[in-house]
Structure 1
């Protein structure tokens, strides 16, 4: 049974290298969260999440809405285990597919095929299971011989194709989506929408962040 439990989770980004003498005007960071300081005002951080408590179980679908800088992507990354919260407890049960920005979780110096292996291993699959899925992933991505080349030679759209193909091939119990999936050419978008309908129906838990009301519905 898949589950996500957050108890009083907070996340703050330190303002590294900003110094304590530099003045921050009141309201300057309102859209990104509150500016917080330690007791001696020697360090400063921007509060992205504050005391978030929630429980998600099999069958739950959660849409995250809010303006830029409201903490949607941070919350997704905390759920995925990419960020460790500043305070609170995160307990996630079940294998996760996290489809965030293109560069996250891939190795730009490795080939497309090697990245399929790396993404599969991170998802908790054995090399034998990944090898069995490689032909399907390669076919869906439509990248052909480019899979033999390092990802640094790919366009942003090509890298997105590969990551989407991998993330949706491993039948996740928990699916975490950021809205970058809107990228891509029309032909691939059509394939992606059909794949997403199938994956969303099968996923135990879905959490999606988006500005699009239609997508959230």
Structure 2
């Protein structure tokens, strides 16, 4: 895709998700069914997490999303990543999306580290050739030696984190979605991980960052939106929006 066409466009996005007990498929439901008893269907309630959100993010922009817990920040990020389906409205992501939320999610424990590099890249939409071009860098950065050709289930927790971080930061998309700035591994790995994250953020064509760290938001982002109860209540220059948010929070 041509770079000038890359970006994000969201129009009137509303998103509901269910809350409360769901008994379908539970042991309790199975026992009721086994003995022929009728079980009252649970009442499913929905929470509207996002309410009429509209925004555009162009190539070169670094958009920060701030707000209190429960304001809809992470929900919006996951809607951009395609994890949550909109209840109404449109989410258009023009470019290859890289969402970094739980970096270890999706590992195949019986597959080798090298095979997991391939699987993660294919899920992101990279070609086998593109994945092979990055494989050596990933293996070197993870620094797990010959374990790269052993099943992931044999790894220590530290080795799994290092490999997950290396895969997530070297198999890069056009649009980078970050829920807080990531760090990984033990103390000896932290400095290398922090430098890698800085490089990743700088090289992303489009960045969307959710964070509670106002200093990071102001240092990294070119524009900020403030979410409250699922709505955008302020948008603009990072220093201005952060000042409004902190004043409202009484800080």
Runs of at least 5 residues in structure 2 that lack an aligned partner in the other structure:
24-41, 220-251
Secondary structure of 1:124's counterpart equals coil
Q: Structure 1 residues 144, 70: closer, same or farther in 2, change over 3 A?
A: farther
Paired residues of 1:64 and 1:72 also in contact (CA < 8 A): yes
Alignment check: 8 A CA contact 1:101 1:180 kept: no
* Larger-gyration structure (1/2): 2
Do residues 68 (structure 1) and 65 (structure 2) align? no
Q: TM-score, normalising length from structure 2?
A: 0.70
- Tell me how far 1:124 sits from its aligned partner: 1.7
The offset of 1:125, in angstroms, is: 1.5
Query: Superposition pairs for residues 13-24 of structure 1, below 5 Å?
Result: 13-15=17-19, 17=21
Structure 1 residues 1-217: aligned runs within 5 Å: 1=3, 2-15=6-19, 17=21, 42-179=43-180, 181-216=182-217, 217=219
* In 1: Cα distance, 2:104 partner to 2:172 partner: 21
Deviation at 1:139, TM superposition (A): 0.5
Root-mean-square deviation (Å) = 2.3
Task: Measure, in 2, the Cα distance between the counterparts of 1:192 and 1:170.
Answer: 15
CA contact (8 A) 1:97 1:168 kept: no
TM-score normalized by the length of structure 1: 0.79
Q: Which shows bigger deviation, 73-82 or 142-151? A: 142-151
More displaced, 65-74 or 206-215? 65-74
Matched-pair contact (CA < 8 Å) for 1:102–1:159:
no
- Displaced runs of 4 or more, over 6 A: none
Question: How many Å apart are 1:157 and its aligned residue?
Answer: 4.1
**Is contact 1:95-1:172 (8 Å) kept?**
yes
Supply the distance in 2 between the matched residues of 1:180 and 1:202 (Cα, whole angstroms). 15
Distance 2:208 2:16 in 1: 21
Contact 2:162 2:184 in 1 (8 A): no
